[in-house]
Structure formats: C-alpha cells, structure tokens
C-alpha cells in the first residue's frame, strides 16, 4: 500500500506499518512547542490542580514571543509566570525574548525530518518545511500532551499542490501563499494535510519553505508539508541537529491524493491581499493603489533573514516616503545579528525604518507597533483580519517584503518590480 508523506510520519508516530485516512490513532509526540500567550498561563492552573508535571521536559520547547518585550504590568506578569513555570518544570529549551517560536524552534535545532510535533499556535505547520508533521492545538489538548506525551489524530487525506517553473526576481513564497489563498480559499485545505512540491518549491531556500508551510493555516489545512531534501538536511545540520535518514520521508510515487492543484511559479506576479482576508489577494496591478500609513515588515511569515534581505534589496539607496513609517521587527535575535553583520539592518535604517525588538510585535495586536483608529497598514504578516493589528477600524493589506518595501518608497501600494527596475 503506497503512503503519502503525512501517512508515513503518522504511521511511525503511532507504531504501525501503515495508516489509512479517516482512522483515529494515538501518536507519541516527539516535540511540544508552546509560547507565553497560550502556554504556561493556560496549562499551569490545571497542572497544579491535578498535581502533575511535564512528561519529558527535554521534548518541550518554550518561547516567550507574544508579550515580549512587555509593554505593561499585565504582560510583565505573564512573562514572569512563564519564566517561573519553565524553572519549575525543568524546561531547559526555554528561549526568553529570543524571537518568534516558529522561527526559533528550527533555528535552534529542534526540528528534524520525520518528527511528529505539535505547537500551541495556529501557525505551527511551519515545521512542515522540515519534513515534520506539525500542527497547532489549543490549550486543553496541549495540557493532555504535556502530561502524557501523546495525542490523538484523525489521519488526514493529503492535498498535493504542485508549483512548476521558477519564481522571478521581485516575487517570493509570500506571493505563492497569497495566490493559493485566493485560488483555493481559506477552507481549501479542509483541515487535511497539504503537501507542496514541484520545481518552484524545490528551488526555495528553507526560509521561503517555512513561509509556504506557515500559511497552510490560511488555507485551512491541518498542516503543510514539504519533502526533505539536501537543502533541508544542510539547514538542520547547521542548526546543530542530525537530519537522520531523511530520504525515507517522501511520498511513494503511487500514493493517493485527495486532490492535486497546479500553479505556475514562472507566471506568478506580486500579490496583494486587501482587507480583511488573505483570500482577497490579487495581482498587484489589479489592486487599488491605496495610501498607506504604516508599512510593517515583521512576523513569522515575513521577517526572517531572507525577508529582510528582500526589503534591503529594494530600499538600498532610497528613502521611505515623507510622512510615512516603515516598522521592522526581525523574527529572531539570530536573524537580527546576521542582518546587522551583513549590513541589511543598516540599509533599512538608512532608508528611514524604525527597528523593533525581535518577537511577534504588532502581528497579533499584543506588542508595540499596533494601529490607531482608521489607520491603514501594508504588512508581511499572514493575516489581515479586522482589528487583528490594532484598532477595529484599522485596515491591513498583505504583501511580500519586496512589495511592502517598494510601497514604503512611494507611500502607496506599489509593484516592487518597478522600483527594482525589472
């Protein structure tokens, strides 16, 4: 019986030779990732009442990112509780204000091909870029996982999405993700497994693959997956981990898929999603050139090292438009360090950008950089739901770092290829 990548990983996790879509199985969890917002402050009260602790602290990764740095006494208390819980439970893989969980977890070597992992955040499918089956769970499910090290799963069908060709300069994985949201809708994944493939996907670096899998959540999928290859193995090794026998984690050639969707990377143009849904995306030339108040380069989707490099490529030697603001929140301290050493941060600052500490920032409306009433923002974030980044009357457009940076130069939504002179 031929198996998809998702079925192979789930079979391994539940100790069976094979599983079939629709079955409900119990799986051993290789890694549980939690953060300050949905983690200790949610699970600690119940764990205390039950008198139980974490099943294996070495398999837990805890990151403080949503409320970091704290902006008031309430957020400071949340971070204090997070630190105390980490010490109490012996969680050594605790990254306090080191960046966003979805970026910090792989860059610190915690993800390897074939792992069955869960995260206390909806964008946990980011881990699928490394050939892991990783998905988000709520606090109640996470409580059970932290105590037992197991969880149940209904074996999903797999939806395969093939991207042919190669992306052109000025076009990125964020444009791919927005194109899929527009074409398939935010329920196109139907809470199944989405597997990305094709020449355009194979040519992406790990940061770009992370963007694709991250936004599987916006497709309504349980997880997004990319088969591991040499690019994956090299990243994992550089992160200090052992990629193992990664070649075994590939879909069989005759595996069955629920559906196969085909897209052309060569024909893809920059995309922009208008308020208030990623599914509203369209070619940048088809979107009204709206005036923007804040240009935001941040979030797990849009502030990795390559994202900052895209923005710098556009902004080198240029200035942001008068009266506008460009806010940059790097996805991790490692990324901030690398971008500083390479001169990328200097280029962004020279252009007039304001730099925030690494973390989730304004993405989910918790941190600094949020929007005032009626303000309009063009952001590299994954979502633009009404009120998500600040005031309920604010509006958020979504685009790639190329497009956000180019638009910051003109002050309104702009095709980055024109600023790059392509």
- pLDDT at residue 300 above 80? yes
If asked whether residues 14 and 106 sit together in one domain, one would say: yes
**Same domain (yes/no): 151, 73:** yes
Is residue 209 pLDDT above 90, yes or no?
A: yes
- Shared domain for 91 and 172, answered yes or no, is no
Question: Are residues 338 and 237 both part of a single domain?
Answer: no
pLDDT in tens, 147-194: 999 999 999 999 999 999 999 999 999 999 999 999 999 999 999 999
Which of 92, 127, 155 is the C-terminal boundary of a domain? 155
Q: Give the per-residue pLDDT at 368.
A: 84
Residues 147, 184 within the same domain = no
Domain containing 161 equals: 156-241+254-268
Residues 6+ apart with CB under 8 A from 286: none
pLDDT tens digit string along 241-298?
Answer: 999 999 999 999 999 999 999 999 999 999 999 999 999 999 999 999 999 999 999 9
Q: Find tokens 């003109």 and name the residue.
A: 410
| Position 2 in a domain | no
Q: Is residue 277 part of a domain?
A: yes
Q: Whole-angstrom Cα distance, residue 291 to residue 410? A: 9
| pLDDT (0 to 100) of residue 37 | 95
Sheet with 193-197: strands ordered across: 223-226, 193-197, 158-164, 259-264
Q: pLDDT tens digits for 40-87?
A: 999 999 999 999 999 999 999 999 999 999 989 999 999 999 999 999
Task: Calculate what percentage of the chain has a pLDDT beyond 90.
Answer: 97
Single pTM value for the model: 0.97
Give residue 422's pLDDT band: very low, low, confident or very high (50, 70, 90).
confident
Roughly how many angstroms between the first and final C-alpha of the chain, as a whole number?
49
* Count of domains observed in the chain: 3
Assigned domain for 99 exists: yes
Q: What is the mean pLDDT of residues 123-132?
A: 98
Whether residue 305 sits in one domain with residue 191: no
Indicate whether 173 and 263 sit together in one domain: yes
User: Is 248 within a domain?
Assistant: no
Predicted pLDDT of residue 190: 95
Return the pLDDT at 107: 98
Based on the domain organization, do 401 and 278 belong to the same domain? yes
Answer whether residue 354 is part of any domain.
yes
For all residues of the chain together, what is the average pLDDT?
A: 97
Mean pLDDT, range 359-368, rounded to an integer: 88
Whether 66 and 95 map to the same domain: the answer is yes
249 occurs within a structural domain? no
Q: What is the pLDDT of residue 364?
A: 87
CATH number for the domain including 314? Answer: 3.30.499.10
Domain end position, chosen among 125, 155, 185: 155
Q: Is the pLDDT of residue 367 over 90?
A: no
- Residues 109 and 240 sit within 8 Å (Cβ to Cβ): yes
Does 222 lie in the same domain as 187?
Answer: yes
The C-alpha atoms of residue 311 and residue 297 are separated, in whole angstroms, by 8
Same domain flag for 310 and 385:
yes
Q: Quick one: 66 and 18 in the same domain?
A: yes
Asked whether residue 355 is assigned to any structural domain, the reply reads yes
Q: Which of 120, 155, 190 is the last residue of a domain?
A: 155
Q: Is the pLDDT of residue 239 over 90?
A: yes
Cα 165 from Cα 310, distance rounded (Å): 20
Here the CATH number for the domain that contains residue 259 is: 3.40.1060.10
* Domain annotation covers residue 216: yes
At a CB cut-off of 8 Å and minimum separation 6, what does 73 contact? none
Confidence at 421, pLDDT banded by 50, 70, 90 = confident
């Amino acid at each position: 019986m031929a198996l998809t990548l998702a079925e192979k990983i789930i079979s391994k996790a539940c100790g069976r030779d094979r599983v079939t879509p629709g079955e409900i199985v119990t799986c051993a969890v290789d890694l549980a990732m939690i953060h300050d917002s949905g983690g200790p402050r949610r699970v600690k009260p119940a764990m205390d009442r039950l008198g139980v602790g974490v099943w294996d602290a070495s398999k837990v990764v805890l990151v403080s990112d949503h409320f970091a740095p704290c902006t008031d006494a309430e957020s400071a208390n949340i971070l204090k509780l997070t630190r105390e819980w980490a010490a109490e439970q012996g969680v050594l893989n605790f990254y306090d204000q080191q960046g966003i969980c979805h970026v910090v977890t792989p860059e610190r070597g915690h993800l390897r091909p074939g792992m069955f992992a869960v995260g206390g955040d909806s964008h946990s499918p980011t881990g699928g870029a490394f050939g892991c089956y990783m998905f988000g769970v709520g606090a109640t499910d996470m409580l059970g996982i932290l105590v037992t090290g197991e969880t149940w799963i209904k074996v999903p069908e797999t939806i395969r999405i093939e991207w042919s060709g190669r992306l052109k300069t000025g076009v990125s994985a964020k444009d791919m993700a927005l194109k899929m949201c527009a074409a398939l809708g935010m329920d196109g994944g139907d809470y199944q497994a989405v597997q990305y493939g094709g020449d355009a996907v194979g040519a992406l670096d790990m940061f770009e693959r992370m963007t694709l899998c991250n936004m599987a959540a916006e497709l309504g999928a349980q997880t997004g997956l990319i088969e591991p290859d040499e690019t994956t193995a090299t990243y994992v090794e550089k992160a200090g981990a052992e990629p193992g026998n990664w070649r075994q984690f590939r879909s069989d050639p005759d595996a069955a898929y629920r559906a196969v969707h085909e897209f052309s990377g060569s024909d893809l143009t920059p995309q922009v999603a208008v308020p208030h849904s990623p599914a509203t995306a369209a070619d940048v030339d088809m979107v009204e050139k709206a005036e923007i108040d804040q240009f935001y380069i941040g979030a797990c989707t849009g502030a990795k090292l390559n994202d900052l490099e895209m923005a710098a490529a556009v902004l080198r030697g240029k200035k942001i438009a008068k009266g506008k603001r460009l806010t940059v929140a790097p996805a991790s301290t490692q990324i901030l360090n690398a971008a500083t050493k390479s001169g990328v941060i200097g280029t962004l600052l020279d252009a007039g950008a304001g730099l925030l500490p690494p973390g989730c920032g304004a993405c989910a409306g918790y941190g600094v950089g949020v929007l005032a009433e009626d303000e309009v923002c063009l952001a590299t974030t994954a979502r633009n739901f009404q009120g998500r980044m600040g005031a309920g009357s604010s509006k958020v457009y979504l685009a790639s770092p190329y497009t956000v940076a180019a638009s910051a130069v003109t002050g309104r939504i702009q095709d980055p290829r024109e600023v790059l002179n392509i």
